[in-house]
Structure 1
Amino acid sequence: MASSAEHATLRVPSGRSSPRWTSSLLPSTTDMAQLTDILRSTVLPTAAQLDAFRRFISEAPADLERYDAEIESIQLLLERFKSERELLSTYTDRCRSVHSPIRCMPTELLIEIFDMCAPSCAESIGNEDTADMEVERLAKTHLLQLSSVCYRWYQTVMGSPKLWSTIVIDAELWDPTDIRTDHLLRRLKLSLERGANSPLVMQLGLPRDDQDLESSILELVTPHATRWRDVHLWINPSSVKLLAKMRGNLPRLESLSLSASTSDPYPPGPAVFDLAPRLRNLILTGWPSRPEIPWGQLLDVRFQNDAASVTSGLDILSLLQRGAEYQMDWNCTTVSLGSLVWKPIVSHLSIFTIEFSGVIDSSIPQATLRNMLESVTMPSLRELYIRRDPAGPPSFWPHSAFLSFTKRSLLGMCLTDLQIQAAIQDRELIQCLELLPLLRRLWLRDCEDHNRHAVMTDFLFDRLACTQGEPDIVPRLEYCYFRPILRCSDESLGRFIGFRVASGQVKTLNIQFHLPLTRERAFSPEFLVQMEKWQERKEFRFSIHDIA
Structure 2
Amino acid sequence: HVKELLPLADKDIEDHDFEIRRLRHQIMIIEQQKQQLEAQRAKLRALVSPVRTLPNEILSRILQHVCIYDYDDDEDGVHTPFIAHFPAMVLSSVCSRWRQLALSSPSLWASLTVDIQDIDVLIYELSFIVTQYVERSGECPLKLSLNFRYHLGPDEEPSSLAFFRLLLRHAHRWETFKFQANNSMSFYNMLSRMQLPSLLELDIRSPAIDTDGDQFPELDLLEIAPRLCALATIESPPTKVPFHPLQTIHLCIGEELASPPVPLLAKILHNYPSLKSLSLEIEPFDVEDLDSEVEDPMVQGTWCNITCLVIRTFWEPSWLKMLFSSFRFPSLNEVVLKDESTETWPTDDFISFVTSSSYLDLIAVLRVMPSISYLEIDDLEYSSESPITSHFMQSLRHQSTSSPLAPKLHSLRLISEREELFDDVTFISMVESRWFKPGSDLSAAMFSLGKACLRSVVLKFSWREVDAEVYQPLRKLDAEGLRVVVAGTNGVQV
Question: With structure 1 as the length reference, what TM-score do the two structures score?
Answer: 0.50
| Structure 2 residue aligned with 1:458 | none
Cα separation, 1, equivalents of 2:216 and 2:298? 22
Q: Is the 8 A contact 1:268 1:290 kept in 2?
A: yes
**Letter paired with 2:311:** E
Cα separation, 2, equivalents of 1:343 and 1:430? 14
Secondary structure in 1 aligned to 2:178? strand
| Structure 2 residue aligned with 1:295 | 243
Cα separation, 2, equivalents of 1:508 and 1:343? 32
Q: 1:137 to 1:99 in 2, by over 3 A?
A: closer
Secondary structure in 1 aligned to 2:231? strand
1:424 aligned onto 2:385: no
| Structure 2 residue aligned with 1:239 | 187
State which of 140, 143, 146 in structure 2 corresponds to 1:198.
140
| Structure 1 residue aligned with 2:364 | 479
**Letter paired with 2:285:** T
Secondary structure in 1 aligned to 2:189? helix
State which of 290, 310, 321 in structure 1 corresponds to 2:273.
321
| Structure 2 residue aligned with 1:350 | 305
State which of 280, 290, 310 in structure 1 corresponds to 2:229.
280
Q: 1:106 to 1:306 in 2, by over 3 A?
A: farther
| Structure 1 residue aligned with 2:323 | 369
Compute the displacement of 1:106 (Å).
Answer: 2.2
Q: 1:240 to 1:201 in 2, by over 3 A?
A: same
Any unmatched runs of 5+ in structure 2? 7-24, 407-415, 421-494
**Letter paired with 2:268:** I
Secondary structure in 2 aligned to 1:383? coil
Cα separation, 2, equivalents of 1:442 and 1:547? 26
Q: Is the 8 A contact 2:218 2:238 kept in 1?
A: no
Q: Is the 8 A contact 1:356 1:365 kept in 2?
A: no
Cα separation, 2, equivalents of 1:112 and 1:156? 11
Q: Is the 8 A contact 1:205 1:234 kept in 2?
A: yes
| Structure 1 residue aligned with 2:215 | 266
Cα separation, 2, equivalents of 1:126 and 1:508? 29
Larger radius of gyration: 1
Secondary structure in 2 aligned to 1:333? coil
Cα separation, 1, equivalents of 2:371 and 2:44? 60
| Structure 2 residue aligned with 1:383 | 332
Compute the displacement of 1:126 (Å).
Answer: 8.3
| Structure 1 residue aligned with 2:118 | 174
Q: Is the 8 A contact 1:260 1:286 kept in 2?
A: no
1:105 aligned onto 2:54: yes
Compute the displacement of 1:95 (Å).
Answer: 6.6
Cα separation, 1, equivalents of 2:385 and 2:132? 62
| Structure 2 residue aligned with 1:214 | 158
Q: 1:333 to 1:198 in 2, by over 3 A?
A: same
Number of residues of Structure 1 aligned to a counterpart in Structure 2? 360
Compute the displacement of 1:316 (Å).
Answer: 1.2
Q: Is the 8 A contact 2:351 2:360 kept in 1?
A: no
CA shift digits 1:432-484 (9 cap, x unpaired): 96xx5xx643137xxxxxxxxxxxxxxxxxxxxxxxxxxxxxxxxx9248xxx
1:147 aligned onto 2:147: no
| Structure 2 residue aligned with 1:416 | none
Cα separation, 1, equivalents of 2:243 and 2:336? 23
Cα separation, 2, equivalents of 1:431 and 1:328? 17
Compute the displacement of 1:323 (Å).
Answer: 6.5
Compute the displacement of 1:204 (Å).
Answer: 1.5
Cα separation, 1, equivalents of 2:159 and 2:91? 33
Compute the displacement of 1:150 (Å).
Answer: 2.9
Compute the displacement of 1:262 (Å).
Answer: 4.9
Cα separation, 2, equivalents of 1:390 and 1:158? 48
Q: 1:320 to 1:213 in 2, by over 3 A?
A: closer
Q: Is the 8 A contact 2:246 2:272 kept in 1?
A: yes
Q: Is the 8 A contact 2:314 2:340 kept in 1?
A: no
Cα separation, 2, equivalents of 1:508 and 1:354? 20
**Letter paired with 1:108:** E
Cα separation, 2, equivalents of 1:196 and 1:431? 49
| Structure 1 residue aligned with 2:425 | none
CA shift digits 1:360-402 (9 cap, x unpaired): x444444x538x82xx7x6x743396945155212xxxxxxxx
Q: Is the 8 A contact 1:263 1:286 kept in 2?
A: no
Compute the displacement of 1:274 (Å).
Answer: 4.4
Compute the displacement of 1:319 (Å).
Answer: 1.5
1:90-169, aligned counterparts within 5 Å? Answer: 98-115=47-64, 123-124=71-72, 133-134=81-82, 136=83, 140=86, 143-169=88-114
Q: 1:292 to 1:205 in 2, by over 3 A?
A: farther
| Structure 2 residue aligned with 1:448 | none
Compute the displacement of 1:89 (Å).
Answer: 9.1
Secondary structure in 2 aligned to 1:328? strand
Q: Is the 8 A contact 2:243 2:271 kept in 1?
A: yes
| Structure 2 residue aligned with 1:539 | 403
| Structure 1 residue aligned with 2:464 | none
| Structure 2 residue aligned with 1:8 | none
Secondary structure in 1 aligned to 2:244? helix
State which of 256, 273, 290 in structure 2 corresponds to 1:337.
290
1:250 aligned onto 2:197: yes
Q: Is the 8 A contact 2:93 2:99 kept in 1?
A: yes
State which of 164, 173, 187 in structure 1 corresponds to 2:129.
187
Compute the displacement of 1:84 (Å).
Answer: 11
Q: 1:308 to 1:349 in 2, by over 3 A?
A: farther
**Letter paired with 2:165:** E
1:22-101, aligned counterparts within 5 Å? Answer: 40=5, 98-101=47-50
Percent identity for Structure 1 against Structure 2: 18
Any unmatched runs of 5+ in structure 1? 1-35, 42-74, 395-420, 445-477, 482-499, 501-505
